[in-house]
Homo-oligomer: A and B are copies of this chain.
Amino acid sequence: MKINDLTIEQLEKAASMLKAISHPVRIAILNHLENGKKSTVTEIHEALGIEQSAASHHLGILRNNDILVAKRDGKNTYYFYKHDRLNVLIDCISKCACEKV
């Protein structure tokens, strides 16, 4: 597979996935979920100290853009990474940010 010559659709898909990630709260969520960890909306809302509706909203954005998957289990909905590859991306941007702040 050639990765250097993307179609317009692929560029737009890449951009929308990245844009979904490009928010401090959502990066914090993704760090929280690294290495296959699964968490509920409430756990994230409490762990990050954000409103419940905000947690749900941000998780919805990540789910709608193929970053996370939601799986219902009784009253709870567990969210987790859709693809392991994204761990690399989150590690990468986290390291970049740590270098530069």
Contacts and interface: CB of A to CB of B under 8 A. Distances in A.
Q: How large is the interface on A (under 10, 10 to 19, 20 to 34, 35 or more residues)?
A: 35 or more
A22 to B, nearest CB: 4
B27 A97 contact: no
A98 B6 contact: yes
Q: Report how many copies the assembly holds.
A: 2
B3 A91 contact: yes
A14 B97 contact: yes
27 contacts: A3-B31, A3-B94, A4-B94, A6-B31, A6-B94, A7-B101, A8-B24, A9-B101, A11-B24, A12-B24, A14-B93, A14-B94, A14-B96, A14-B97, A15-B23, A18-B18, A18-B21, A21-B22, A66-B100, A85-B92, A85-B95, A85-B96, A88-B88, A88-B92, A89-B92, A89-B93, A89-B96
